[in-house]
Each structure stands twice: as structure tokens, then as C-alpha cells.
Chains A and B, each alone.
Chain A
């Protein structure tokens, strides 16, 4: 278990210190949100209508950023060999990597989103649901991303391959996440969408580490 925590701590440290880590994910997320009013014009009604979708699209893209750093450098510098020989099962190692990726992407974005809500005129009543939906959904995005990252270790600089692999699987999160926020904004009950979002996330957190570990074992040959 000590190995599990040590791996999370090390990956978070790397995520915070590396360029292209946590700060970049947060900045990228904020930039997308800031750019939208320039593209769509400042009308409150338009912005309010698209805000839930924009926030979730921004979250999806921002969480993609750190994925290339998740396993590729470890495969290149030999850390992955040590992980495979470690007493920690590879599935749990993948889970630790997912947790560290989430802490340096999805978690930060969830905290940042409420501060950006006024830029898109999101209804005040929907702000808590925005943060909650991101907190519930983004762990699943990291888990799915881990599978893509694991498959990507066999491809040098597989950044685009990674995005193409991972993005379609993220669509359910986008649908349920955005509709939960939209429901809250329109005065409807967001509970149902949030439940589906949580279900997607939990499923991804169970399947993701297993699939990622299997992909890492396959890659060696």
C-alpha cells in the first residue's frame, strides 16, 4: 500500500513541477472558456444556453493534455520496468496513476470552474452542480485516458492517436455532465443526469485500470 501512495505522490509532484502539467491543464481550460464570448458575442442568453456544453467540452480537452505524460515518459526512462517488477499489482499502479492524473487535471478544473462561471453567464443556481458534475465525472475521464495512454506507449509521440482513441469514449460523460448542468440552470432536477454520470465514472474506474494494465503487459513485445 505504501507503494501505491508513493506512486501517487511522485506523479502529483511531477505533474505540478513539469511544464505541461497541472498548470497547463488549468490554463487551457480557462482559455477555452474565456475565448467563447469572443467567438459567440456577448449576449447573455446565447452564452447561458451554451455554457454547460462549453464547460464540459473544455474539461474533456483539458484532461487530455496530461495523458501523454501519464505513462509515455515512464516507458522511456525505465520506470515502467520497475513498476512491472514491483510487488504492487500493475492494475493498482494504473489506478494510482489515474488518481494522480485526476488530482493534477480534473480536480483542479472542478475547483476552477465556479470562478469562471460568470464569464459565460451561467445561472448562479447551476454553479454548485457544475462543480459537482465535474468532480464526479472527471475521474472517469482520467480512467479512460489511462487506457489510451497505456496503448499509446507502443507508439512514439502518440499524442494525436491518444486523443482519437480516448475522445469517443468520453462522449457519455459530455452528454450527462452537460445535461446535469443545463437541468440545474433551467430549474429542473439534475439528479438523474448526475446519477448516470457517476455510473459512467465508476464503470470507467473499474474497467480502466484493468484494461490499462493489460495494455501495458501486451506492449512489451
Chain B
């Protein structure tokens, strides 16, 4: 199998999906990296469940303020234009359809766009956090993840075996080998990572992939 992309390249590809002026929520993990790779000249406003809109870079060592964090508990720098609010208002923004794009990680995504990202059954307990609200409320949900799990099993499946976060909520899947669109007709392979063929991507994908007529190579 050809080489896979690293987490930064996945994040870089996702960053291209954020439109100018969008209000964006980035989940924990690979999604957090996306803000570093926004194309030059593009402005988006980040929302976090911790109760802040319009945050900028992470704080460096010695700059931490315990009252200025994102949803992952990372410390933020004060940024002109940022706004604070309580959690009911923060989630009114989410459910009310005011968040244009949510980028989340996933354990599994189904061919219908079902998302499973809050609980591994073996652990017996999980964290939902803001994921179910974002799955239900964000206008567009993009999943950023590795194509297979640590055991090498496909994460893009016919039906999620893990408890789901939201049914039919995922619009686009960006992985370390492909970009896949989810539509009522199923999954369409839009892009492959450099060196990968559609057949090789299908071999590590449980769900069926239709290949786009204008299949492209992922670019950064």
C-alpha cells in the first residue's frame, strides 16, 4: 500500500473546505490542527463549547490564563473581537443552525453518513460533550480521521457497530488516503492521496465507494 498522509496534511485538506466568513467549530484531535492551515487571506470565526466565539491562536508556555480555554481544555490567547457567553447560548448557536461547519473526529462513519464518535463499547462509558449537538445542529459536518482504526480495520462501514452520535449527519469525510462525499445515493470517492488508486482505497473501506467521474488527487 502507498504511504498515508500525516495528521497535518489531513488538517490542511480540511482547511480548504472552510468558506470565507464561516462560523466553524473544531473538535478535539486532528480537527484542532485545522486552524493552523487556513489558506492565506481567508477569515473564519471559531466557536468553542467552552463559551467563546472568535478565538485565535493557542497560548504559549507562560501565557496560560485559566479563564481562557477551548473545549479541549487548551489555553487561548486574548484576541480582538472575541465574545464570551454561557453554555445555553453557546448551544443555541449550534442547534439554531448558526454554525456553518463542524469538523469532528470519528470512530466510525456509515455509508448513510451516520457518525459514531463518543463511545468505544469496550470502555463501557464515554464522553458525549458537544458532539451530539453539533451532529444535529451544524449546517455541514466534516469528519477528519485516519481511514482505518489502530488494528487496521475499516472505519468507513456499512453500518456503525459503535453507538452513534447522530444519524445521517456527515457530509464529507477527509482521511489519510481519500476525500469521500456522503449523499443519499451513498459514498462517492472524490479524491485519493498521492500514489493511491481507487481500488486500493476500496480495499480498506467496508462500505461501497462510487468513483467520481472527475476523480482527483488530493492537493494541499
Q: Do A and B bind each other?
A: no
Please report B residues at the A interface, Cβ cutoff 8 Å: none
